[in-house]
């Protein structure tokens, strides 16, 4: 992050951060991020909680990848009685998520698995897999591989919901999603903010038939749903 703040020319010339930067294993920045981001993501988490109970099959088994603060999975646990959440992230980050689950009164239905999303066995037969503010850290091919892994962990009829910043096709609007690729350029090797068309291409390449993008107003984020 210091490089991002102090020497932007270096990562522009490099086409990304010169090292793993924010995606380095067990990076302590994610503990700070998990604690700080709860107010920012609260409206999107609330929107997901409002939608999930009204799906044709409300999610009972939920997998939250790179769960961070855990608030998206926790919001579903509160909205769908009897649902169970499995959260995957680094051990130190999961401690934040567990504290939030305890505060929300769903700790008994909240299970954690420490480790890398790329190396950990996700399991199978999930109704809902959450990829919240995660895909933008990686290049197109890596995103396809993550979505394919998610598809293999879904039950028949399940869905993946990504939460992310989706710029318009012109990639210069709206303002916050449009500027986000610059943040990814400085803090990841090959991260980006992807357009709706790019997410549709990723989803089809991973084997999904239906991909929908729904803005979560008034936030700058969108739900990207893969079925």
Condensed to tens digits (0 to 9), the pLDDT of residues 50-65 reads 999 999 999 999 999 9
- pLDDT tens readout for residues 87-146: 999 999 999 999 999 999 999 999 999 999 999 999 999 999 999 999 999 999 999 999
Residue 219 phi/psi, 5-degree rounding, is -75, 165
Task: Walk me through the domains of the chain, giving residue ranges and CATH numbers.
Answer: 2-226 (3.40.50.150)
Angle, CA 35 vertex, CA 167 and CA 90 arms, to 5°: 85
Cα distances (Å, whole numbers) of residue 117 to 67, 68, 102, 105, 189: 10, 12, 23, 26, 17
| 6 pLDDT more than 80 | no
Percentage, residues of the chain above pLDDT 90? 86
Query: CA 137 → CA 81, 84, 87, distances in Å?
Result: 32, 27, 19
- What pLDDT shows up at residue 25? 82
C-alpha dihedral (95, 100, 104, 110), degrees to nearest 10? -40
Burial of 211 (0-12, 13-18, 19+ CB in 10 A): buried
Q: Output the pLDDT for position 20.
A: 63
- Tell me what pLDDT residue 140 has: 98
What does the pLDDT read at residue 18? 74
Asked if 87 and 113 count as a contact pair (C-beta separation under 8 A), the reply is yes
Q: What is the pLDDT of residue 21?
A: 73
pTM of the model: 0.93
Q: What is the DSSP string of 85-152?
A: EEEEE-HHHHHHHHHHHHHHT-GGGEEEEES-TTTS---S-EEEEEEET-GGGS-HHHHHHHHHHHHH
Distance of CA 86 to the CA centre of its chain: 14
pLDDT band at 5; cut points 50, 70, 90: low
Position 73 scores a pLDDT of 98
For residues 100 and 107, give the distance between their C-alpha atoms in angstroms, rounded to a whole number. Answer: 8
**Positive or negative torsion for Cα 119, 190, 212, 36:** positive
Give pLDDT, residue 136.
98
Element (H, E) at 5: helix 2-6
Task: Output the six-digit token pair for 63.
Answer: 């997998």
Confidence at residue 19, expressed as pLDDT on a 0 to 100 scale:
72
For the cut 70, the answer to whether the pLDDT of residue 167 exceeds it is yes
Residues sharing a CB contact under 8 Å with residue 91, sequence separation 6 or more, in sequence order: 26, 114
Question: Does position 202 have pLDDT exceeding 80, yes or no?
Answer: yes
CA-based max dimension of the chain = 51
DSSP letters, 12-79, are HHHTS-SS-GGGSTT-THHHHHHHHSHHHHHHHHHHHHHHGGGSSS--SEEEEET-TT-HHHHHHHHH
End-to-end CA distance of the chain: 35
| Region 77-92 average pLDDT | 97
């Amino acid at each position: 992050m210091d490089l991002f703040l102090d020497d932007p020319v270096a990562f522009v010339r490099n086409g990304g951060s010169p090292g793993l930067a924010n995606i380095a294993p067990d990076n302590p920045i994610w503990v700070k991020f998990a604690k700080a981001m709860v107010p920012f993501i609260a409206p999107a988490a609330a929107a997901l909680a409002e939608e999930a109970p009204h799906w044709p099959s409300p999610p009972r088994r939920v997998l939250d990848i790179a769960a961070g603060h855990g608030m998206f999975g926790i919001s579903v646990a509160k909205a769908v009685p009897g649902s169970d959440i499995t959260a995957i992230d680094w051990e130190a980050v999961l401690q934040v998520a567990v504290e939030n689950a305890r505060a929300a009164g769903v700790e008994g239905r909240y299970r954690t698995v420490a480790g890398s999303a790329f190396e950990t066995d996700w399991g199978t037969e999930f109704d809902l897999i959450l990829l919240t503010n995660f895909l933008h850290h990686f290049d197109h091919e890596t995103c396809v591989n993550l979505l394919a892994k998610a598809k293999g962990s879904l039950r028949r009829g399940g869905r993946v919901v990504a939460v992310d910043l989706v710029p318009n096709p012109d990639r210069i609007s709206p303002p916050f999603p449009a500027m986000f690729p610059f943040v990814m350029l400085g803090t990841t090797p090959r991260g980006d903010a992807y357009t709706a068309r790019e997410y549709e291409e990723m989803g089809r390449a991973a084997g999904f038939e239906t991909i929908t993008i729904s803005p979560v107003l008034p936030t700058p984020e969108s739900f990207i749903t893969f079925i």
